[in-house]
Amino acid sequence: MRVGNALEKADAGSAVLAGWASPRDGKRMILVTGAGGFVGAAVVSELARRGISYRAVTRTPREGSLCIGDIDPRTDWTAALDGVDAIIHLASRAHVMDEAIASPGAQLRSLNVDSTLNLASQAIKAGVKRFVFISSIKVNGEATKPGRPFTAEDTPRPQNPYAQSKHDSEKGLFALARAPGSELEVTVIRPPLVYGPGVKANFATMMDWVNRGIPLPLGSVNNKRSFVFVDNLADLIALSAIHPNAAGQVFLVSDDEDISTTELFKKLAQALGRPSWMMPLPIPFLNFGAAMIGQRAITSRLTESLQVDVTKTREILGWQPRDSLSEGLRQTARSFQALHLDQVPRSA
């Protein structure tokens, strides 16, 4: 980041924050759902860093938070919404936990869509002005063609129940915002894969592979994928909750530095202080082997491209990633190794 651009961004951010934090009718408050999660914890830290008052809502009891239990379409948000001006809604379910359920799509709709719209409806009655909904890039689709990144204006093409539930939530929120008498402003953010200290699931698995020195047959992969460091995402989320230009918008977000899967593993190896063992196995062989063991979806995510264009986010909000991809990976690797000291090489 150039010094001039950094100073301009800081000045612009200060002006937005001054307008938000000093209203005529007293101090403002942001409600954060899912505050105990990976992204939620980063958002709460970012709000605190900015000096913005917040109310953290969690599913289980945590110090300094409001425990509301499992969120469903019947949740009463009355107490949580008292005195709130904006909502950052992170709480959602990516998978149905009960595999015996006959209709996982319907269950996800209840857990995600109906619960979200219940919160938004109560927010309108409570006089909340801004609703920031954290969606998913999967609303746009699962993959992009070379040189054709997703944009916020693309026609949505969700391809699984989770992505569909996010898309339905978006549509429902914008419909509520347009309803007669509603003063709610809706902002949607669609992130790609999020990483950072404490990340779990697929990204943690990839770091574990590299940290253990497992040879990976990905040396021939020449795709391009977008990622977002959790602190960069939290920065945008906080800005979207207070920036006047964010109202009614859909934003995409990334570190704005797309790399191939091969490059990602090499960067992870460097950050972890490990050698990179990448075998150049042809992709058709990878796909065939994955199909034989029923893991075709995992190979697709590793070999296909998924890029996002953040031009709109930059232009409308004056936002740019605060940390580079390399810095984000460095912090992520350092946190991972602190939790896996037995796997850290002696020379590290």
Alpha carbon distances (Å) from 113 to 110, 172, 260: 6, 8, 33
Contacts of residue 313, defined as CB under 8 A and 6 or more positions apart, other chains included, come to 152, 236, 251, 252, 253, 319
Confirm if 116 and 165 have CB atoms less than 8 A apart.
Answer: no
DSSP strand pairing (130-134 vs 227-229): unpaired
Taking the C-alpha atoms of residue 173 and residue 167, their distance in angstroms, rounded to an integer, is 10
| 201 vs 94: CA distance, rounded Å | 12
Nearest to 302 by CA among 223, 228, 227, 230: 223
Handedness of CA 247, 249, 252, 255 (dihedral sign): negative
Catalytic residue among 162, 195, 229, 265: 162
Q: Cα separation of 297 and 287, whole Å?
A: 9
Q: How far apart are CA 88 and CA 32, in angstroms?
A: 5
Supply φ then ψ for residue 3, to 5 degrees. -60, -45
Is 162 a catalytic site residue? yes
Taking Cα atoms as reference points, which of 303, 231, 224 lies closest to residue 257?
224
87 near 119, Cβ under 8 Å?
Answer: yes
Q: Which residues are known catalytic residues?
A: 162
